Amino acid sequence: MSPIYAAEESRSRPPNGVTNFITDSSADISLRNQFKNLNSSDYGERSVQTAWGQGVTLDFRSGYIADIIGFDTSYYQVFKLAASDDFAGRSVLYNDNGKAKGFHKFGQLYAKLKFDGEDSYFRLYSGWQIINKWGALTNSSRAIPSTYQGWKMDSEFGRLAFRGAWVDRYSDRDSPEQVHFQTADRKKNISYLATGELSYKQKDYSVLYFYGESHNYMQRHGVEVGWQPQSLAKNQGRVLTMLYMNHGLKDFKAMSADYRPFNNDAWHAAFYLEWKQHKWKNKFGASWTRANSSDDHLGYFERHMAKNSRGRFNSMADAWGNDYVGNNEKSVTWTTEYNLTPEVNIGLQSAIGWGMKYHSRTIERGETILFSRWKPSWEKNLSFQLSGGPSWNYQSKKNRPILTDDGRPKRAVNHSIEFQIDYAFNLF
């Protein structure tokens, strides 16, 4: 090859940093078909909530220019398959003034920056993005996931890690809209949510502390301590204990008790133990909540930092049917799963809650959910899930239990069923 030709060829190639941006890029398509039905009388009148949608997600992840900067994006589309009049309660389809519709949006579009050291790293992400179990924030999914606008940071120095986030908009799992955070009564917008977490990990244990604040509305502190003893490594045994505390700020305390979950402070303490034995997988948890409200209201621990957001909450009190977080409520929850065949798992989740009182009357509730999963061996990226069962709750309206003629909280008897199919494949 002549020197002139070699020089021309070299000039025609992109620099190595740009080449990595292209060659390290990837794209995937994931499909989720989701049917959800709930027959409920939690709020007095019986409501049959049914929604069926087909979600499509296209994810693109770039490589890094000069091993420093890149960008990712995700396009979401949900197709309406079926819906009842009360479809909106299932958070699958878009509620357009009472009409169920499909929708589409670019749910993620963000720049990413990274710096790597020998035993440390730093990551920064800015734009619309998924934020999952990040300080006081998390996200939620149905046919597609919810996303936030803002920035998040991730760093690690040896066994010590620090993460943070600042966000000012939200796009929900069932909507194309980009909305502000709001107070529970929806009378005021909240300008931002900010959070940070500090964690330390060893082989046998981990400790995490996080703090979050929604501007002028609520503060949250959380501590999670995990223990994975080597003596139970064969059974993948793990214990996680947690303590969460909410503190209401100016705009929170200004709300009517009809919308305010608690007066000033609320606490939730919990733990769970999980382990495997042969073909069995088990998880057992318990919790206690303190969330005082005014005399004629029943308080509860609010899991979310504001309306139009999702809050980190790893307690098993957040069960499939009910949230066992009422004032003075204790709960016990357990999940048992059995590997019936290499492809099929079946399981049972049950929960009970007790200890709440309203006008000196005790309130108890519970649920039993059956579930099954099938992951065919001939296609590792395909899965089917079926779940459903009854739950028992109390009827309420504006943080007040609805009472019978003799002053007892009315019982709500509910049942649900859900079917979900997931499939994903790589484009490049």
CA distance 160 to 199: 6
CA distance 199 to 211: 12
pLDDT, tens digit (0-9, with 9 covering 90-100), for 151-184: 999 999 999 999 999 999 999 999 999 999 999 9
Specify if 9 maps to a domain: no
Cβ atoms within 10 A of the Cβ of 285, count? 22
pLDDT of 230: 86
pLDDT, tens digit (0-9, with 9 covering 90-100), for 376-385: 999 999 999 9
Specify if 15 maps to a domain: no
Whether residue 17 is predicted with pLDDT greater than 80 in this model: the reply is no
Task: Please compute the mean of the pLDDT values over residues 336-345 and round it to a whole number.
Answer: 98
Contact by Cβ (8 Å): 287, 323: no
Closest of 220, 400, 188 to residue 294, by C-alpha: 400
Cβ neighbours for 102, distance < 8 A, ≥ 6 positions apart? 53, 77, 78, 79, 80, 93, 94
pLDDT of 14: 61
pLDDT of 49: 96
Contact by Cβ (8 Å): 49, 37: yes
pLDDT, tens digit (0-9, with 9 covering 90-100), for 102-139: 999 999 999 999 999 989 999 999 999 999 999 999 99
pLDDT of 16: 64
Provide the token pair at 52.
């069926």
CA distance 332 to 349: 11
Domain containing 269 equals 24-426
Cβ neighbours for 16, distance < 8 A, ≥ 6 positions apart? none
Specify if 7 maps to a domain: no
CA distance 123 to 268: 32
Whether residue 15 is predicted with pLDDT greater than 80 in this model: the reply is no
For residue 13, what pLDDT band results from cuts at 50, 70 and 90? low
Whether residue 244 is predicted with pLDDT greater than 70 in this model: the reply is yes
Closest of 400, 390, 296 to residue 348, by C-alpha: 390
Whether residue 392 is predicted with pLDDT greater than 70 in this model: the reply is yes
Sequence-ordered alpha helix ranges (H) in 218-314: 250-253
CATH number reported for the structural domain that contains residue 410 in this entry = 2.40.160.10
Contact by Cβ (8 Å): 210, 312: yes
Which position has the higher pLDDT, 11 or 78? 78
Which of 2-6, 32-36, 304-308 shows the lowest per-residue confidence on average (mean pLDDT)?
2-6
pLDDT, tens digit (0-9, with 9 covering 90-100), for 54-112: 999 999 999 999 999 999 999 999 999 999 999 999 999 999 999 999 999 999 999 99
3-state secondary structure of 234: helix
CA distances from 105 to 57, 73, 96, 144, 227 (A): 10, 11, 15, 10, 41
Task: Please compute the mean of the pLDDT values over residues 412-422 and round it to a whole number.
Answer: 98
Specify if 4 maps to a domain: no
Whether residue 197 is predicted with pLDDT greater than 60 in this model: the reply is yes
Please, what is the end-to-end C-alpha distance for the chain in angstroms? 33
Task: Please compute the mean of the pLDDT values over residues 282-305 and round it to a whole number.
Answer: 96
Whether residue 148 is predicted with pLDDT greater than 90 in this model: the reply is yes
Specify if 17 maps to a domain: no
pLDDT of 234: 85
**DSSP assignment string, 160-218:** EEEEEEEEEEEE-TT-S--B-EE-TTSSSEE--EEEEEEEEE-SSEEEEEEEEEETTTE
Mean pLDDT of the chain: 95
Provide the token pair at 230.
């080597």
Contact by Cβ (8 Å): 319, 367: yes
pLDDT of 218: 99
CA distance 131 to 129: 6
Closest of 151, 143, 146 to residue 167, by C-alpha: 151
Whether residue 354 is predicted with pLDDT greater than 70 in this model: the reply is yes
Specify if 372 maps to a domain: yes
Total tally of structural domains belonging to the chain: 1
Strand partners, 223: 209, 243
Task: Please compute the mean of the pLDDT values over residues 272-280 and round it to a whole number.
Answer: 96
Provide the token pair at 400.
């007040």
Whether residue 6 is predicted with pLDDT greater than 50 in this model: the reply is no
Whether residue 330 is predicted with pLDDT greater than 50 in this model: the reply is yes
Specify if 318 maps to a domain: yes
Specify if 137 maps to a domain: yes
> Counting Cβ atoms within 10 Å, is residue 219 exposed (0-12), middle (13-18) or buried (19+)?
middle
Closest of 54, 101, 110 to residue 77, by C-alpha: 54
Count of positions (residues) in the chain: 428
